[in-house]
């Protein structure tokens, strides 16, 4: 675990391993939103001009599976790197695989969140959450990958087993921390290219009903972001911090 300082919390790591970042609010489903989707698209079309839609999922109903007519809407930017999504008439979020820092991403989210809230007249929020997924490549060789694992990360479990090397490892934890709900997954495994990776997937959320207030949502998301960064720093050590601070190869 590295020492968490104010300076460290404010530091942006160019050489980060973030694969996906998402900010999201949830609210009571309102099927009347469907009629106002075209007008909402006009509000964001200058920045998010690639549109898509699909049915959400199927659920069991009686003896058969019936389609639920809830639609997922996606609005991507011109480069298809950042996406606004409006799912099931109850989830609104912003997600990206090209994260450039909390300040810029959160500002973009709140600009569009305000547009959504005003347009659809959202009066109540039921969940506020953010999620950071890190995928860190280690090695194609199991022995070498285990060495990197031990050198860079702090294990969440006691590794007092009758063998020296892991083939794979999955730790899935759900817990409360500082009044928020945390879902932490730590995965050591091979990807589709047979390369060993570490996945650190942290979801931090506030799950309570509250009146819609942008300032309150901003405060909660700030807290959630701080909580995720602190939890991430508990999983790494000084050696991996050096890797994060390396200049990114272009």
Inter-residue contact 246 to 15 (CB < 8 Å): yes
Average pLDDT over residues 109-127: 98
Q: Assess if residue 109 is contained within a domain.
A: no
Cα–Cα distance measured from residue 81 to residue 74, given in angstroms and rounded to the nearest whole number: 12
pLDDT band per the 50, 70, 90 thresholds, residue 241: very high
Q: Assess if residue 86 is contained within a domain.
A: no
Q: Assess if residue 217 is contained within a domain.
A: yes
Q: What percent of the chain has pLDDT over 70?
A: 91
Cα–Cα distance measured from residue 137 to residue 150, given in angstroms and rounded to the nearest whole number: 14
- C-alpha distances (whole Å) from 2 to each of 131, 152, 245 are 21, 11, 13
Nearest Cα neighbor of 48 from 8, 23, 80 is: 80
Q: Which two tokens stand for residue 67?
A: 């389609």
DSSP-derived secondary structure letter, 236:
B
Laid out side by side, the sheet with 180-190 consists of 50-55, 71-76, 82-87, 91-96, 18-26, 127-139, 196-206, 180-190, 169-177
Q: Assess if residue 14 is contained within a domain.
A: yes
Q: Assess if residue 99 is contained within a domain.
A: no
DSSP-derived secondary structure letter, 118:
H
Total Cβ atoms within 10 A of residue 122: 18
pLDDT at 70 over 90: no
Average pLDDT over residues 222-230: 97
**Boundaries of domain holding 150:** 6-25+125-244
3-class DSSP state of 137: strand
Total domain count, the chain = 1
**Residue 167 phi, psi dihedral angles, 5° rounding:** -90, -45
Average pLDDT over residues 145-164: 82
Q: Count CA atoms closer than 13 A to 183's CA, side-chain side.
A: 10
Summarize pLDDT for 26-60 with one digit per residue, the tens: 999 999 999 999 999 999 999 999 999 987 654 44
Q: What percent of the chain has pLDDT over 90?
A: 80
| Residue 237, strand partner residues | none
Summarize pLDDT for 158-195 with one digit per residue, the tens: 766 666 678 899 999 999 999 999 999 999 999 988 99
Longest dimension (CA), the chain: 62
Q: What is the gyration radius of the CA atoms in the chain, in angstroms?
A: 20
């Amino acid at each position: 675990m590295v020492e968490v300082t104010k300076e460290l919390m404010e530091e942006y790591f160019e050489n980060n391993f973030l694969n996906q970042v998402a900010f999201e609010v949830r609210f009571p489903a309102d099927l009347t939103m469907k009629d106002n989707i075209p007008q909402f698209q006009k509000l964001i079309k200058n920045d998010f001009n690639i549109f898509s839609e699909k049915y959400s999922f199927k659920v069991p109903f009686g003896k058969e599976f019936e389609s639920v007519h809830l639609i997922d809407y996606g609005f991507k930017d011109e480069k298809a790197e950042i996406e606004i999504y409006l799912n099931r008439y109850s989830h609104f979020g912003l997600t990206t695989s090209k994260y450039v820092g909390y300040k810029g991403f959160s500002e973009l989210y709140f600009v569009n969140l305000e547009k959504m809230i005003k347009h659809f007249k959202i009066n109540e929020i039921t969940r506020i959450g953010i999620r950071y997924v890190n995928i860190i490549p280690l090695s194609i060789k199991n022995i070498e990958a285990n060495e990197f694992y031990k050198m860079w990360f702090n294990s969440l479990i006691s590794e007092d087993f009758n063998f020296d090397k892991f083939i794979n490892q999955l730790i899935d934890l759900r817990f409360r921390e500082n009044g928020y709900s945390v879902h932490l997954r730590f995965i050591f495994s091979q990807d589709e290219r047979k390369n060993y990776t570490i996945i650190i997937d942290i979801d931090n959320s506030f799950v309570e009903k509250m009146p819609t207030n942008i300032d309150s949502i901003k405060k909660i998301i700030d807290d959630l972001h701080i909580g995720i960064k602190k939890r991430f720093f508990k999983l790494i050590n000084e050696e991996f911090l050096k890797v994060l601070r390396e200049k990114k190869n272009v």
